[in-house]
Amino acid sequence: MTRIKFCGLTHPEDVTCAVALGADALGFVFYPPSPRALTADQAIPLTRLVPAFVTRVGLFVDADHATIQEAFDKNRLNLVQYHGNESPTFCAEVGLPYIRAIRVRPGVDVVAEMARYTGCQWIFVGCLQAGGARWHGRVV
């Protein structure tokens, strides 16, 4: 089964359009260096537009437990997407359902990395396109 996740939404009209197009999940970025970053409070009006049965995902990169929990609670997130250097132990300690992103790059054994994250819901395997402008990936 193919599922579609739109990520990096920052405007109400984008959320509404993604829902109308049938997206299964919507991602909200809580990584301050990103041009699409939101604070937990900025995301609230956007996540309130997401209807039941559409998954709300918060994307984090090396955030602390309190930051993740605050965004999760304030925005009624369904999943956390870890996109940094978070260890399996860290992900388990936070205790929230999660997606683990594995960045494909030289020297990374993707199969071994996938095996480390036994507690995750899904694994996103992705790599940067030439020039580092966009992520291409697949959830497994």
**Domain extent listing, the chain:** 5-139
DSSP 61-110: SS--HHHHHHHHHHTT-SEEEE-SS--HHHHHHHTS-EEEEEE--TT--H
pLDDT digits (tens, 9 = 90+) for 40-96: 999 999 999 999 999 999 999 999 999 999 999 999 999 999 999 999 999 999 999
Local confidence band at 133 (pLDDT 50, 70, 90 cut-offs): very low
In the structure encoding, which two tokens stand for residue 135, read together? 């992520």
Residue 101 pLDDT: 86
Q: How confident is the model at residue 102 (pLDDT cuts 50, 70, 90)?
A: confident
Is the domain covering 5-139 a CATH 3.20.20.70 domain?
A: yes
- Residue 84 CA to residue 102 CA, distance in Å, equals 9
- Alpha-carbon distance 3 to 126, whole Å? 16
- For the cut 90, the answer to whether the pLDDT of residue 114 exceeds it is no
